[in-house]
Structure 1
Amino acid sequence: MAKVRKAVIPAAGLGTRFLPATKAMAKEMLPIVDKPTIQFIVEEALKSGIEDILIVTGKSKRPIEDHFDSNIELESNLKEKGKTGLLKLVEDTTNIGINLFFVRQSYPKGLGDAVLHAKAFVGNEPFVVMLGDDLMDSPVPLTKQLINGHEKTHASNIAVMEVPQEETSKYGIIDPESHVGDNMYSVKKFVEKPDPKEAPSNLAIIGRYLLTPEIFVLLEKQEPGAGGEIQLTDAIDKLNQTQRVFATEFKGQRYDVGDKFGYMKTSIQYGLTHPEVKDRLRDYIKELAGDLTAQDKKTEPKSKK
C-alpha cells in the first residue's frame, strides 16, 4: 500500500464573502490574530506526516507564495535590531519543514476542477485535499485521522461532522450505510448541497478528503453540477460505485473561517489562547459584556403600573 505523503490545498477562490478586503488580497492570507489561515492548514499537514503540498492558486494569490518564501531584507533588519523572536517566526515560515509547490487555476470552475489540476503532481498515489475554510483542532490532526483510516481500509476516506439539519443545503452530505469502526461509516451515496427536507442525513463533508488517484479519471469526465461548477462531491459519489469510499466523523473542534461571522469567532477563540493577548482580550470581553448588559437594561420596555 502506497504511503500518503502528498496534499492538495485549493486556494484559487475569489473570496467574495470578504470583499473589499479580498479585492487585492488572498482570503487565505487573512490572519487569525497573527497567523494567516493557510499556515494553519500547512501546519496540520506537517503534523500528519505529509511531505509535499501543492497549493492551487489564482489571480491575486501571489502573497501566498511570498509568505512561505524568504524575505532577505526583513530578516536582515530583524537580525540587526536583535529581534531574535520575530526573526525566528519569519524564518520558520520559510523553513517550515515541508515541500511546497504551486499551480494556477486560470478559470474558477469549481473545487473538482481545482483538484484535477493536481493530477500530474499526485501521480498514482493516494493523497489528501485540505480546504482552507476549515481549521481543525484535535489531539490527533484530522488529516492524520483520515490517513489512519486509509491504512485500515486501503480506500478513500472523507471527513464528516454533524451539522444542523437546516444547514445541509450548504454542504456535501453523506447517506451512511453502516458503522465500520468507532467513528467511521461505509457510505451509500454522497449528495451535494441537498434541500434540508431531502438530505439523507446531517453528516456534512467538512473540508478534508483522502482520495485514491482514480478520482482524476472521474473528474475529467465530470459534468458541471450545483452552481454550474465541477463538484468534487459528485465525482466522489461515482467513485463510491466502483470502489468503497468511507467517511470518518470528526469529534474535535471545527472553526469555519469561510464567512465573516465564523472568521470573527475564530479570531476571538484563538486570541483567548494567544500568550501575548489572551489576558487583555479576556478582560476586554468581560468589560464589553458588562457594557452590553447595561445597554440592554436601558432599552428594556418599562412595565406598566
Structure 2
Amino acid sequence: MTSRKPIKKAVFPVAGLGTRFLPATKAIPKELLPIVDRPLIQYAVDEAREAGIEQMIFVTGRGKTAIVEHFDVAYELETTMSERGKSLDILEPTRFTPGEIITVRQQVPMGLGHAIWCARAIVGDEPFAIFLPDELMIGKKGGTGCMKQMVEAYNEVGGNLISVLEVPREDVSSYGVIDPGAANGNLTEVRGLVEKPPVAEAPSNKIISGRYILQPEVMRTLENQEKGAGGEIQLTDAMARMIGNQPFHAVTFDGRRYDCGSKLGFVEATLALAMERDDMGEEVKAMARRLLG
C-alpha cells in the first residue's frame, strides 16, 4: 500500500442562513438544531473524530458564533453542575483543546465551492475532508461512520473520494449523481458528475451524499472557478474538472442518510434516532402508535 498523507483536517461549511427553518433559525444556527439532544453539528464532528480527524475548520458567517461556543468550555455551567454533584461526561464530546477548532468567515454567500475555498490557507497542501452537517449520516448499529469508511478507502486508493447512496431511479432528478466506471466492493470509479439529471438521462442511481475527501489541488481549481448553477461557485463543477487528472472514486456508504436540511427529513431523523435509544426508544414507539391511532 502506497504511503499517503493522512486525512487530519475537515472543513464544515456552516455559513448558511437556514431560511427553510425560519423562524426557529432567526437567532439559532440551523447546525445547532437538535436531533433529540445532540445538535446536527455535533453528529458531524463526532463522525470526524471517529475517522481520526484532528482539526475542525468551520467556515462561518454572521450570527454563527454560537457554533464555536458550543465547542468551548462553559465555566459557569460546568461549575454549577459540579457543585450539584452532576457528571460532566455528557459535555466531553463538546470539549476541544486549543488549535483543534479554527474558524474562517465567508463574508458573501457565493456557494459551496466558495465556502470551501475560504479555508484554503488552513488546508494548505494537505488532503482534507468536507462535511455537510445537514446530511446526517448514521452507520449501522455497531458499524463505522461514513467518514471512517471513506478514510479506509482513501488509504487504499488515494486521490479524491465522495460518498454516495443508491436511491430509486425515479428520485435521481433531485440529486447530483455519478457516472460510474469500474466497481470493486463499495468502491466505484467516478467518470463524471451530473447535477439533477432527467430520470431517462441519469447515468446511475448513485447520489452524492454530503461527505468528501479531496486533494488540495481543488483549491487552485476553485480559485479560477466561474459561477455555475444559481450564480454561485459550485464545488461539483470544480470536482468534475479534476476527474481524469487524479484518481476519483465513490464510496457507497453502508448506513443511513437523513436530509436534515428539509423539515420532513429533520422530523424523520429525530423520530428514527429516538426510537433506537435505550433510554426512550420503547416509550417513543408507544407514543407513535398512540398518535397513529
Residue 156 of structure 2 is matched in structure 1 by 152
Are 2:209 and 1:201 aligned?
no
TM-score by length of 2: 0.93
Contact 1:46/1:98 (<8 A) preserved: no
- Give the alignment partner of residue 22 of structure 1, picking from 20, 25, 43: 25
Are 2:118 and 1:117 aligned?
yes
Residue 73 of structure 2 is matched in structure 1 by 70
Contact 1:46/1:97 (<8 A) preserved: no
After superposition, residues 126-145 of structure 1 pair within 5 angstroms as: 126-138=127-139, 139-145=143-149
- How has the CA–CA distance of structure 1 residues 5 and 195 changed in structure 2, closer, same or farther, with 3 Å as cutoff? same
- Give the alignment partner of residue 43 of structure 2, picking from 17, 32, 40: 40
- How has the CA–CA distance of structure 1 residues 201 and 111 changed in structure 2, closer, same or farther, with 3 Å as cutoff? same
Q: Hey, what's the Cα distance between the residues in 1 that align with 2:149 and 2:216?
A: 19
Identity %: 44
- Give the alignment partner of residue 241 of structure 2, picking from 238, 241, 244: 238
Residue 60 of structure 2 is matched in structure 1 by 57
Letter in 2 for 1:225: G
After superposition, residues 175-186 of structure 1 pair within 5 angstroms as: 175-179=179-183, 181-186=184-189
Shift in Å, 1:95: 4.2
Letter in 2 for 1:127: F
Letter in 1 for 2:120: K
- Structure index of larger Rg: 1
TM-score by length of 1: 0.89
Is there any run of 5+ residues in structure 1 with no aligned partner, and where? 292-305
- How has the CA–CA distance of structure 1 residues 97 and 159 changed in structure 2, closer, same or farther, with 3 Å as cutoff? farther
Residue 161 of structure 1 is matched in structure 2 by 165
When the two structures are aligned, how many residues end up with a matched partner?
287
Shift in Å, 1:271: 0.9
Residue 174 of structure 1 is matched in structure 2 by 178
Q: CA RMSD in A?
A: 1.7
SS in 2 for 1:272: helix
1:106-157: per-residue Cα shift (whole Å, max 9, x none)?
1111110111111111111111111101122221221112112221112111
Is there any run of 5+ residues in structure 2 with no aligned partner, and where? none
Contact 2:158/2:247 (<8 A) preserved: no
